[in-house]
Amino acid sequence: MSTLSIQLFGKFCVRRDEQQIIEGFESRKVQELFCYLLLHRDHSLPRETLACLMWPDTTTVLSKKSLRHVLWQLQAALGSQNGSTQDHVLLVEPEWVQLNTQADLWLDVSVFEQTFTLVQEIAGQQLDASQVQMLRHAVQLYQGHLLEGWYQDWCLFERERFQSMYLTMLDKLMIYCEVHRDYEAGLLYGMRIMCYDRARERTHRQLMRLLYLNGDRAAALRQYEQCTTALEKELGVGPSKPTIALYEQIQADQLDEYESMHTLAPISRTQDVVFPPLQEVLGRLTRLEKTIFDLQNQVEQSIQMVQQALSTCSTSPPYQESIRQKTSL
């Protein structure tokens, strides 16, 4: 059986022998079930759980029936359920379904996640050449958000998790590039991060250092201005003390290359946790609170306008004459 290659970063795509498989995967439910099984490939999943997840607004009986039908479609699309068990992509039992980990299958998110696990405890300054090569390959696999265009709750959570891993790996590569004086490559990695998180303050600091060390002091100072603007717009806060101190060093032309390389804060275990920083969460909640407040004011104003309009109509002569006619009848 030939290798099955599956891409979940960016647009969902399944290939066999470099040829894209379209037939059988036209249904979004078939795609959704397959992707969910791929992302939870390390353990069996109860059919009832899958049915409730995919069809939350139907009865248990109907959701299980829909699951059986979609599961049959998926097996037909994969075309690998005949022959020995080793050739099966899916292991299907009466109560459980699981991806066959022994199947000849390549999955981009699996390679990506394995690389992250291998380097998670290693600071950027301490990476060796082979680890850097793995990281560079992994970040190239990130061709876009996980399953772009999908908005199911489970997908949004996984998308956030993988994006956080991606940004952390780019952080490590930036630090490695600075330590090894490969400033231009480090700047490119930093620009990638900015595409996904404009208010990532530590990345702004790294970019400021790299720009300065690459001989562009003016650009480093402009990067600080971009940092302050992004923090205010996204989170409603100003730059932190380390960012201000770095700005002042660059402004005074006193940032030493040796000092910069050895004062980089290592990426700690806490920083590697693949969830949004609390400050970012607070900023989002603050913006949401303001939006709700504005909507509440609009609703109250609309209610007052309607009440005023009703009051005006009820006291107008035509309205009163209409009331008198109906009363006389």
pLDDT tens sequence across 197-231 = 999 999 999 999 999 999 999 999 999 999 999 99
Least confidently predicted of 61-70, 182-191, 251-260, 315-324:
315-324
H helical segments located in 43-152:
47-54, 60-78, 108-119, 129-141
Lowest mean pLDDT among 48-62, 87-101, 299-313: 299-313
Confidence band, pLDDT 50/70/90 cuts, at residue 285: low
Which residues neighbour 260 within 8 Å (Cβ) at sequence distance 6 or greater?
A: 178, 209, 213
CA dihedral sign, ordered 107, 109, 112, 116: negative
- 315-329 mean pLDDT: 54
Lowest mean pLDDT, pick from 129-138, 195-204, 249-258: 249-258
* pLDDT at residue 24 is higher than 60: yes
pTM: predicted TM-score of the whole model, two decimal places: 0.77
In this structure, of 57-71, 242-256, 305-319, the range with the lowest mean pLDDT score is 305-319
Q: What is the DSSP letter of 124?
A: G
Q: What contacts 94, CB < 8 A, 6 or more positions away? A: 47
Q: Give the CATH architecture of domain 108-276.
A: Alpha Horseshoe (1.25)
Higher pLDDT, 86 or 114: 114
pLDDT of 273: 40
Nearest residue to 162 via CA among 141, 132, 137, 185: 141
**pLDDT grade for 97, boundaries at 50, 70 and 90:** very high
Mean pLDDT of 181-202: 97
The pLDDT confidence band at residue 121, using thresholds 50, 70 and 90, is very high
Task: Give me the architecture of the 4-103 domain, per CATH.
Answer: Orthogonal Bundle (1.10)
Q: In this model, does residue 275 exceed pLDDT 50?
A: no
Q: What is the pLDDT of residue 87?
A: 72
- pLDDT tier for residue 18 given thresholds of 50, 70 and 90: confident
The token pair that represents 292 in the structure block: 């709700």
User: Using 50, 70 and 90 to split pLDDT, how confident is the model at 266?
Assistant: very low
The whole-angstrom separation of Cα 67 and Cα 52 is 9
Q: What is the pLDDT of residue 84?
A: 58
Structure confidence at residue 300 (pLDDT): 74
Residue 146 is classified by DSSP as B
What's the mean per-residue pLDDT of the chain?
Answer: 86
Q: How confident is the model at residue 82 (pLDDT cuts 50, 70, 90)?
A: low
- State the sign of the Cα–Cα–Cα–Cα dihedral 200, 206, 207, 209: positive
Sequence spans of domains, the chain: 4-103, 108-276, 287-328
4-103 and 108-276 agree in CATH topology: no
> Is the Cβ–Cβ distance between 146 and 159 less than 8 Å?
yes
Which tokens in the block code for residue 229? 């603007």
